[in-house]
A and B are shown apart, each in its own frame.
Chain A
Amino acid sequence: MMNTASRMETSAERRWDRRRVVDLVGENGFIVIFIVWCVYLSFATDAFFTSRNIFTVLRQASIVSIVAIGEMLVMLMGAMDISLAAVLGFSGVIVAGLMTQSGVPPLLAGAIGVGIGGLVGLINGFLVTKVKINAVIATLGMMNVLNGIAFIYAQGQTIYGDQMESIAFLARGYILDVIPVPVLLMFAFYAVFYIVLNRTLYGAHLYAMGNNEKASWLAGIRVDRVKILAFALAGLLAGFGGVMQASRQGSATGGMGDEFLFPILTAVILGGISLSGGKGRVQNTLIASIFLVTITNGMVLLGTSIYAQRIVSGAILIVALSLDRLRMRAR
Chain B
Amino acid sequence: MATLLDLHDISRAFPGVQALEDVSLSVAEATVHALVGENGAGKSTLIKVLSGALEPDAGAMTFAGRPYRPRNPRDAIRAGVSTIYQELNLLPLRSVAANITLGKEPSNGGLLDRAAAQTQARGALDLLRAAHIPLDAPVERLKVGEKQIVEIAKALLDQSRLLIMDEPTAALNSAESEALFEIIAALKAKGVTILYVSHRLQEIFRLADAVSVLRDGRHIRTAPIGEVTPDALIADMIGRKLEGVFPPRHSDLGEVVLSVERLASPGAFENVTFELRAGEVLAITGLTGSGRTELGRALFGDGAIESGQVRFFGGTGRIDPARALAAGMGYLPEDRKVEGVLAEVAVRRNLALAILPKLAQRLGVIDRTAERRTAQQQVDALDIKTPSLDQLVRNLSGGNQQKVALGKWLACGARLLILMEPTQGIDVGVKFEIYGLIARLSREGVAILLISSELPEILGLAHRVLVMRAGRVAAELDAERTDSETILRHALGESVKRDT
Point out residues on A near B: beta carbons under 8 Å.
16, 199-204, 207-208, 211-212, 214-222, 278-279, 331
Q: Is the CB of B72 within 8 A of A215?
A: no
- Give CA–CA (A211, B72) in the complex, Å: 20
- Give CA–CA (A67, B89) in the complex, Å: 33
- Give CA–CA (A125, B104) in the complex, Å: 24
Per-residue A-contact encoding for B88-99, CB less than 8 Å = 1, 0 else = 011111100010
Q: A215-B102, A218-B85, A220-B77 are in contact. Are A201 and B91 (CB under 8 A)?
A: no
Q: Is the CB of B89 within 8 A of A222?
A: no
Q: Collect the chain A residues with CB atoms within 8 Å of residue B111's CB.
A: 199-201
Chain A minimum-CB-distance residue to B76: A220
> Does B358 reach chain A (CB closer than 8 Å)?
no
- Give CA–CA (A202, B105) in the complex, Å: 10
Partner of A222, one of B74, B93, B140: B74
Partner of B92, one of A204, A212, A218, A219: A212
Q: A219-B103, A331-B140 are in contact. Are A208 and B91 (CB under 8 A)?
A: yes
Q: Is the CB of B91 within 8 A of A220?
A: no
Q: Is the CB of A211 within 8 A of B73?
A: no
Q: Collect the chain B residues with CB atoms within 8 Å of residue A278's CB.
A: 91, 93-94
Q: A208-B91, A215-B102, A278-B94 are in contact. List 18 more A-B contacts (CB 8 A).
A: A16-B141, A199-B111, A201-B107, A201-B111, A201-B112, A204-B112, A207-B98, A208-B102, A212-B91, A216-B91, A216-B102, A218-B53, A219-B73, A219-B89, A219-B102, A220-B72, A221-B102, A278-B93
Q: Collect the chain B residues with CB atoms within 8 Å of residue A221's CB.
A: 74, 102-103
Q: A218-B51, A218-B73, A219-B73 are in contact. Are A201 and B105 (CB under 8 A)?
A: yes
Q: A201-B105, A204-B98, A221-B102 are in contact. Are A215 and B112 (CB under 8 A)?
A: no
Q: A216-B102, A218-B73 are in contact. Are A211 and B91 (CB under 8 A)?
A: yes
Per-residue A-contact encoding for B72-88, CB less than 8 Å = 1, 0 else = 11100110000101000
Q: Min CB distance, B286 to chain A, in Å? A: 26
Considering only residues 87-132 of chain B, those with a C-beta below 8 Å from chain A are 89-94, 98, 102-105, 107, 110-112
Minimum-distance CB pairs A-B, first 8: A219-B103, A215-B89, A211-B91, A220-B74, A220-B103, A219-B102, A220-B77, A201-B107
Q: List 5 A-B contacts (CB under 8 A).
A: A16-B141, A201-B105, A203-B112, A211-B92, A219-B102
> Does B415 reach chain A (CB closer than 8 Å)?
no
Chain B count of residues within 8 A CB distance of the other chain: 27
Q: Collect the chain A residues with CB atoms within 8 Å of residue B91's CB.
A: 207-208, 211-212, 215-216, 278
- Give CA–CA (A200, B78) in the complex, Å: 22
Q: Is the CB of B110 within 8 A of A217?
A: no
Q: Collect the chain A residues with CB atoms within 8 Å of residue B107's CB.
A: 200-201
Q: Collect the chain B residues with CB atoms within 8 Å of residue A204's CB.
A: 98, 105, 112
Q: Collect the chain B residues with CB atoms within 8 Å of residue A216's CB.
A: 91, 102-103
- Give CA–CA (A203, B98) in the complex, Å: 12
Partner of A212, one of B53, B73, B89, B110: B89
> Does B154 reach chain A (CB closer than 8 Å)?
yes
- Give CA–CA (A211, B92) in the complex, Å: 7
Q: Is the CB of B104 within 8 A of A220?
A: yes
Considering only residues 39-88 of chain B, those with a C-beta below 8 Å from chain A are 51, 53, 72-74, 77-78, 83, 85
Q: Collect the chain A residues with CB atoms within 8 Å of residue B85's CB.
A: 218
Q: Min CB distance, A167 to chain B, in Å? A: 31
Point out residues on B near A: beta carbons under 8 Å.
51, 53, 72-74, 77-78, 83, 85, 89-94, 98, 102-105, 107, 110-112, 140-141, 154
Q: Collect the chain B residues with CB atoms within 8 Å of residue A217's CB.
A: 72-73
Q: Collect the chain A residues with CB atoms within 8 Å of residue B104's CB.
A: 219-220
Q: Min CB distance, B113 to chain A, in Å? A: 10
Q: Collect the chain A residues with CB atoms within 8 Å of residue B92's CB.
A: 211-212
Q: Min CB distance, B93 to chain A, in Å? A: 5
Q: Collect the chain A residues with CB atoms within 8 Å of residue B110's CB.
A: 200-202
Q: Is the CB of B94 within 8 A of A218?
A: no
Chain A minimum-CB-distance residue to B85: A218
Q: Min CB distance, B134 to chain A, in Å? A: 11
Partner of B112, one of A200, A214, A220, A331: A200
Q: Collect the chain B residues with CB atoms within 8 Å of residue A208's CB.
A: 91, 94, 98, 102-103
Q: Collect the chain B residues with CB atoms within 8 Å of residue A214's CB.
A: 89
Partner of A218, one of B78, B83, B93, B105: B83
Specify which of A16, A199, A200, A218 lies most central, judged by the most chain B CB atoms within 10 Å of its CB: A218
- Give CA–CA (A217, B72) in the complex, Å: 8
Q: Min CB distance, A137 to chain B, in Å? A: 17
- Give CA–CA (A278, B94) in the complex, Å: 9
Q: Is the CB of B89 within 8 A of A220?
A: no
- Give CA–CA (A211, B141) in the complex, Å: 14
- Give CA–CA (A255, B221) in the complex, Å: 70
Q: Min CB distance, B124 to chain A, in Å? A: 14
Q: Is the CB of B53 within 8 A of A215?
A: no
- Give CA–CA (A174, B275) in the complex, Å: 80
Q: Min CB distance, A45 to chain B, in Å? A: 40
- Give CA–CA (A90, B296) in the complex, Å: 55
Chain B minimum-CB-distance residue to A198: B112
Q: Is the CB of B103 within 8 A of A279?
A: no
Q: Min CB distance, A326 to chain B, in Å? A: 16
- Give CA–CA (A201, B90) in the complex, Å: 17
Specify which of B91, B94, B98, B110 lies most central, judged by the most chain A CB atoms within 10 Å of its CB: B91
- Give CA–CA (A203, B90) in the complex, Å: 17
Chain A minimum-CB-distance residue to B89: A215
Chain A minimum-CB-distance residue to B48: A218
- Give CA–CA (A199, B239) in the complex, Å: 55
Q: Min CB distance, A26 to chain B, in Å? A: 13
Q: Collect the chain B residues with CB atoms within 8 Å of residue A212's CB.
A: 89-92
Q: Collect the chain B residues with CB atoms within 8 Å of residue A331's CB.
A: 140
Q: Min CB distance, A286 to chain B, in Å? A: 21
Chain A minimum-CB-distance residue to B112: A199
Q: Collect the chain B residues with CB atoms within 8 Å of residue A201's CB.
A: 105, 107, 110-112
Chain A minimum-CB-distance residue to B91: A211
Chain B minimum-CB-distance residue to A214: B89
- Give CA–CA (A202, B109) in the complex, Å: 11
Q: Collect the chain A residues with CB atoms within 8 Å of residue B141's CB.
A: 16
Q: Min CB distance, A195 to chain B, in Å? A: 8
Specify which of A207, A220, A221, A222 lies most central, judged by the most chain B CB atoms within 10 Å of its CB: A220
Q: Min CB distance, B165 to chain A, in Å? A: 14
Q: Collect the chain B residues with CB atoms within 8 Å of residue A218's CB.
A: 51, 53, 73, 83, 85, 89
- Give CA–CA (A212, B102) in the complex, Å: 11
- Give CA–CA (A252, B106) in the complex, Å: 46
Q: Min CB distance, A272 to chain B, in Å? A: 13
- Give CA–CA (A219, B89) in the complex, Å: 9
Q: Collect the chain B residues with CB atoms within 8 Å of residue A202's CB.
A: 110
Q: Is the CB of A211 within 8 A of B93?
A: yes
Q: Collect the chain B residues with CB atoms within 8 Å of residue A203's CB.
A: 112
Q: Min CB distance, B161 to chain A, in Å? A: 16
Specify which of B53, B103, B107, B112 lies most central, judged by the most chain A CB atoms within 10 Å of its CB: B103
- Give CA–CA (A206, B456) in the complex, Å: 47
Q: Min CB distance, B141 to chain A, in Å? A: 6
- Give CA–CA (A204, B106) in the complex, Å: 11
Q: Collect the chain B residues with CB atoms within 8 Å of residue A215's CB.
A: 89-91, 102
Q: Min CB distance, A23 to chain B, in Å? A: 10
